Amino acid sequence: MKYTDINFNDKTILITGAAGFIGSNLCFYFQENFPNATVVALDSFRSGETLSNGNLKSFGHYKNLLGFKGIVISGDINDKVILKQLEHDYNFDYIFHQAAISDTTVSEQDLMIKTNVNAYEELLKIAINHSANMIYASSAATYGDSDRFEVGFEQPNNVYGFSKVMMDNITYEYLKKDLDISIVGLKYFNVYGSREFFKNKTASMVVQFGHQILKGLTPKLFEGSDKILRDFIYIEDIIQANIKATTPKKSGVYNVGTGKARSFEDIVTILQKELEIDNGKEYIPNPYVGQYQFFTQANIDTTKENLGYEPQFSMEEGIKAYIPEIKRLYKTEVK
């Protein structure tokens, strides 16, 4: 589905984090809808390198780009040589900056700030030099302990959320200048959908619960899960927001969610209905009480107004659309 009247054919588009979840979906959006666009897919790709929490330093996986016909470059956004090469070799019309350390449990503050904050500003300078509109991934993690999910009420409680606030602050500073480009930051809420599987333990509970159910296991939920509510958003609506952010009425930072909070209990109920498997539910004590968000719900009023964004998928519709991919992954990657 095309989400804009803009014709991206013959445009040159940089997508960072292109072998990751959202980046790879953007790559295929352009390939399927605008086959004459030049898409440059930059990703650091995974190696065996891990961080102090034991998780991979990069989750980028070649399988997310199987079938992609564009240009693939392996490189780290912290590498100024790579950035100079990109700036020299191409003339970008749009930059979709999805690359980041997005694992909220990472404790390496130096690497987090360097990767998420400093590299963003370097890419923004390229965007300005190329007159390329910049669309980048911010995060609902910026809200942290806040009970008001609208821009200006951020209270990050980890270095990842802090790094995304700093990115947004850079945006506000640059928007004070007289620029001939638009800059849009998108605060993603809880995203689920195709090509998230290789995020491993940081993939959504939708795919994790789905595979538990297919294995014949009883899904484990925290006690009171019916009261733990999140704004879960299907990947197609994230792509819609990114595409509409290429021509905003107004540059700025916007929430991308559904505007409706749903429970983890709902996820399991819908999955068992769609998979036609009822393994029941098991309830376990929540060890994170006191350091756990019990509620998130995006205020998307300004997103609708300035991006023309309108969520298309309820949780029921999103999970139903995702089921064939959950089953395929179970057969090819899990079993």
Cα distances from 38 to residues 2, 11, 70, 96, 266, in angstroms, run 17, 6, 7, 13, 41
pLDDT tens, residue by residue, 221-278: 999 999 999 999 999 999 999 999 999 999 999 999 999 999 999 999 999 999 999 9
User: Residue 330 above 80 pLDDT?
Assistant: yes
Q: Of 11, 164, 187, 199, which one is the catalytic site residue? A: 199
pLDDT of residue 48: 87
Report the Cα–Cα distance between both ends of the chain, in Å, rounded: 33
CATH code of the domain occupying 12-334? 3.40.50.720
pLDDT of residue 61: 98
At 201, is the secondary structure helix, strand, or coil?
helix
State the CB neighbour count (10 A cutoff) for residue 297: 18
Is residue 199 flagged as an active site residue? yes
Mean pLDDT of the chain: 96
pLDDT of residue 72: 98
pLDDT tens, residue by residue, 171-186: 999 999 999 999 999 9
* Extended strands (E) in 84-223: 94-97, 133-139, 183-188, 190-192, 220-222
| φ, ψ (nearest 5 deg) of residue 115 | -75, -45
Residue extents of the structural domains in the chain: 12-334
Contact predicate 16/96, CB 8 Å? yes
Is residue 176 flagged as an active site residue? no
pLDDT of residue 180: 96
Mean pLDDT, range 85-113, rounded to an integer? 96
Mean pLDDT, range 302-309, rounded to an integer? 98
Mean pLDDT, range 18-22, rounded to an integer? 98
Residue whose entry in the numeric block shows the structure tokens 């109920």: 269
Q: How confident is the model at residue 294 (pLDDT cuts 50, 70, 90)?
A: confident
User: Residue 92 above 70 pLDDT?
Assistant: yes
Strand 133-139 to 38-43 pairing: unpaired
**Element containing residue 270 per DSSP (H, E):** helix 264-275
Residue % of the chain over a pLDDT of 70: 99
Strand 229-230 to 262-263 pairing: antiparallel
Q: Of 160, 192, 254, 330, which one is the catalytic site residue? A: 160
Cα distances from 92 to residues 32, 44, 82, 181, 189, in angstroms, run 20, 20, 15, 12, 28
d(CA 97, CA 23): 8
d(CA 298, CA 29): 25
**293 or 16: whose pLDDT is higher?**
16
pLDDT tens, residue by residue, 29-81: 999 999 999 999 999 999 989 999 998 999 999 999 999 999 999 999 999 99
pLDDT of residue 290: 67
User: Residue 289 above 80 pLDDT?
Assistant: no
Contact predicate 45/62, CB 8 Å? yes
User: Residue 164 above 70 pLDDT?
Assistant: yes
d(CA 13, CA 96): 8
Mean pLDDT, range 207-234, rounded to an integer? 96
Mean pLDDT, range 123-144, rounded to an integer? 97
pLDDT of residue 291: 66
Give the global pTM. Answer: 0.97
